[in-house]
Each structure stands twice: as structure tokens, then as C-alpha cells.
Amino acid sequence: MIRIENLVKTFGAKRAVDGISFGVERGEVLGFLGPNGAGKSTTMRMVTGFMPPTAGRVTIGGHDVAESPLEAKRLIGYLPENAASYPDMTVRGFLEFAAELRGLRGSQKKQAVGRVVERCFLQGVLRQSIDTLSKGYKHRTCLAQALIHDPDVLIMDEPTDGLDPNQKHEVRNLIRELGRNKAIVFSTHILEEVDAACTRAIIIDRGRIVANGTPEELRAMSDLSGAVTLSAHGANAEKLSALGRVEDLNGAFRIYPRDKSRAADLAQDVVELVSREGWKVEGMFSERGELDEVFRRITLPDTVKR
């Protein structure tokens, strides 16, 4: 549904987006990760046709955004950064306005508004003007606007920013549910969201893609992945170091595999060693790897890396 080829955007001498290419198909939820200022919002603005790219191509459902913007925009629902909406309008007025701009009239419009109001839990605030709403409701109102025409493509710029944990949970569930038959791209810098909602994630840094894969694949890039953490009475680092590099964690030991591809054997080896030595095990975990460690490692400048 979404095809992006060698997208470049320069602001003066700065290359905000520097040759990004990826594609998103129906049924995929792509998490767009990166530190602040990495080029996430700029990329999304080019995908939605708000900004023309300096170079490269974006096609939505076969329509080139630069050449046939109206056809491409019809397929997209967009939740901009900070969920901008007209503060002087009522929720109903705003949603009807969005529906009309999307070409919905009469009973179709009424149906569409009713559907998104239910979906985004806005029943209680329909008559309220948007500037009197709490941040969570404002956000959901803008999200409702993006869903009003049941778009095939949904682009969301930090959809959970500023929401409380319950609301975050709701929005993530909504994204996952919508992702079954839409192509979704959403940006975030909250890593747990990748696990909660994405089928695939892209990490960008300084305008370039630095990692692209399923949450599992990204996690496997972590140093920690495959390591075994053991807390056992009588255990000592000397014996354990025969199995791999050992880190002392104040009462527990973490053993890193020498060879990542044989990580599965490590746990087995540790179990055998423990039973041979007769140590009393209090706890033992096989680490999956942590996304934020991967994120930090690939997005921090070399000088800051430990």
C-alpha cells in the first residue's frame, strides 16, 4: 500500500531525511522509531503529501503523492503531531467537517461519524467544544477524524504522546485491531509500544534507516539476548567463566554466550553445571534482549557509547 523510495528532504544544508526506502502492506503495523529530530515527522509529512520531498518518490496504493496528490490523500488517514484540531469547533462539528471534506454526505456522513464516535469513545463529549476537552479526548477526537473515511492507510505521528497509561493501552489495542486490514505507520519513542502493537519496526537516526525488522529480530541484536542470568547459593564466577563471559550482578551472575548462534545451548550448559556442582538455584532466566539497549546502541553517536 505504501511504497517509499530513496526519500530525501533537506532544510538548507541539513539533510533531515537522507535516502529512506521502505514499504508497508495491508495487515502490517510499522513502528517508526528514532530519537527526537531523527526525521520521523518529516518523513510522515512527506508521505501524507504535506511536504514535497527534495528527492525520491512516495506512492500510496499506486498513486504517486507528488503527481496525483488528491487520489493519494483520499486513501490516507492522518493523525498529525500533537493532534491538531480546531479548538473553537464542537467534537461533532469537527468530525462532520472532516467527513464532508472526505466527500461523505447525508446518511453516509451520519453513519461515519457514529462509527468513529463509538470506536474512539467520544459519546460523552459530542457537544463540547474542543478547547474544553482534556488532552486524551482531544487526541481521540483527532484520531476519530483520521478514521472517518475508513482509510486503507493510516499514518500517525506519536499517537500515544501525552496520554495516561490507560489511554495508551486503549490506543495500542485500537492500532493492533485496525492493523488487521489496513497499512499502518506510527511513530513513537516509547519502545514498549513496539512490542504492544507492531508487526515490524524501523529505527531511523539522523535521517537514515539504521535497523529494520520484527520486534524479535531487533531484540536479538541486543548484547543481552541469549545471556543467562543465574542466582544460586554457592555459585562462583570462576566455574561459570568456563561457559562464557561472566558479569557479577551483586548476588547473581549473568553469563553471555561466546557464540550467539549457540545461545540455546548455554542455558542447558548452565543447568548441567549447576547440578554437577550441587548449587542451590534461587532463580534462573534466559534473557530475550532489551529493545532500549538496541535502540541506544545504534542511535547514540560513537563518542557517547560506552
Partner 1 sequence: MRPILTIAKRELVANFTSPVAYVFLVIFLLLTGFFTFTAGNFFERGEASLAAFFGWHPWLYLVLVPAVGMRVWAEERRSGTLELLLTMPVAPWQAIVAKFLASWVFLLLALVLTFPAIVTVNVLGDPDNGIIAAGYVGSFLLAGAYLAVSCMTSAMTRNQVVAFILSVVVCLFLVLAGFNPVTDLMTRWASPALVDTVAAFSVVTHFDGFQRGVIDARDLVYFLSVIGFALFATGVIIRGHRAG
Question: In DSSP terms, which residues pair with 229 in a beta bridge?
Answer: 254, 285
Q: Does 140 contact partner 1 by CB under 8 A?
A: no
Q: Does 135 contact partner 1 by CB under 8 A?
A: no
For the CB of residue 80, give the shortest distance to partner 1 in the complex, in Å. 5
Q: Phi/psi zone of residue 37: left (φ > 0), alpha (ψ -120 to 50 degrees), beta? A: left
**CB of 87 or CB of 114, closer to partner 1:** 87
Answer for which of 35, 56, 97, 293 binds partner 1 (CB under 8 A) is: 97
For the CB of residue 174, give the shortest distance to partner 1 in the complex, in Å. 20
Sheet with 253-256: strands ordered across: 245-248, 253-256, 228-233, 280-286
SS3 218: helix
**CB of 183 or CB of 228, closer to partner 1:** 183
Q: Phi/psi zone of residue 251: left (φ > 0), alpha (ψ -120 to 50 degrees), beta? A: left
Q: What CA dihedral angle connects 286, 290, 296 and 297, to 10 degrees?
A: 40
Contact window for partner 1 (CB under 8 A) among 8-16, 212-220, 222-230, 285-293: 8-16
Q: Does 78 contact partner 1 by CB under 8 A?
A: yes
Could you tell me if 148 and 113 are in contact, meaning their C-beta atoms sit under 8 angstroms apart?
Answer: yes
For the CB of residue 223, give the shortest distance to partner 1 in the complex, in Å. 38
Which class for 142: exposed (0-12), middle (13-18), buried (19 or more C-beta within 10 A)?
Answer: buried
Residue 213 is which amino acid?
G
Q: Does 9 contact partner 1 by CB under 8 A?
A: yes
**CB of 8 or CB of 224, closer to partner 1:** 8
Q: Does 89 contact partner 1 by CB under 8 A?
A: yes
Q: Does 271 contact partner 1 by CB under 8 A?
A: no
Count of residues in contact with partner 1, rule CB under 8 A: 35
Q: Does 129 contact partner 1 by CB under 8 A?
A: yes
Spell 101-134 as b/e; 16+ CB within 10 A means b.
Answer: ebebeeeebeebbeebbeebebeebeeeebeebe
Contact window for partner 1 (CB under 8 A) among 89-97, 165-173, 194-202, 250-258: 89-97
Q: Does 84 contact partner 1 by CB under 8 A?
A: yes
Answer for which of 37, 55, 67, 101 binds partner 1 (CB under 8 A) is: 101
